[in-house]
Structure 1
């Protein structure tokens, strides 16, 4: 499970990342990444945070919750790969409901890496 410090919880933060972030899309997910601003010394601070958007188009409540749990597990594994100071929002597309675990894992990790690369 992701710690509270590693979760995006405010709606304004979600909107900010989705609007200002660099996007990377696959058949199953769209990942938006934005970097926290640097302070006067040029140091980027703050924990890496993840947020998840799973709309009703993905499926019924059971399916959406399954997809959300999978995305959270993948994000927990990516915490060590994503540098400190980034906000990442992962939006599940309807195809994510039928995606196998290895496919979803690869799509999210690849999209996240591309998004961080673009946002740096």
Structure 2
């Protein structure tokens, strides 16, 4: 996901799932303008409050790697925005994975 319009639409129209270190905004394929895509689109919001550029990029890379494993669990054409909280910079990958799974499960429940 690259355009600010996609991010804005997903955060406004999508359902939320919150965990300790991040929040998920999930928009279903029938509401998304990208319903003809073969897979889900994922975007990341990592604000400067998370840390310096090195810390922000490290968190983004960790989450990108974790999402590659979970993309098959999302419907094709859905849109997902992951908003990271400041406490995420010092967390290990396994804790980020637990938070990601928890937030995704909450968002999927609300989507139904």
Same-fold status (TM-score > 0.5): yes
8 Å CA contact 2:17–2:105 kept in 1: the answer is: no
Name the counterpart of 1:50.
42
> Aligned-residue CA RMSD in angstroms?
1.4
- Please point out which of 31, 36, 58 is paired with 2:29: 36
- For normalisation by structure 1, the TM-score amounts to 0.83
Alpha-carbon distance in 1 for matches of 2:55, 2:27 = 28
- For normalisation by structure 2, the TM-score amounts to 0.89
Residues 5-44 of structure 1, C-alpha deviations (whole Å, 9 max, x = no match): xxx1111000000111111111100100011227xxxxx6
Structure 2 residue matching 1:84: 3-state secondary structure: coil
Unaligned stretches of 5+ residues in structure 1 = 1-7, 39-43
Name the counterpart of 1:93.
85
Q: How many residues align?
A: 108
Determine which structure has more spread, i.e. the larger CA radius of gyration.
1
Residues 65-92 of structure 1, C-alpha deviations (whole Å, 9 max, x = no match): 0000011001111112222231110011
The ranges of structure 1 where at least 4 consecutive aligned residues each deviate by more than 4 angstroms after the TM superposition are none
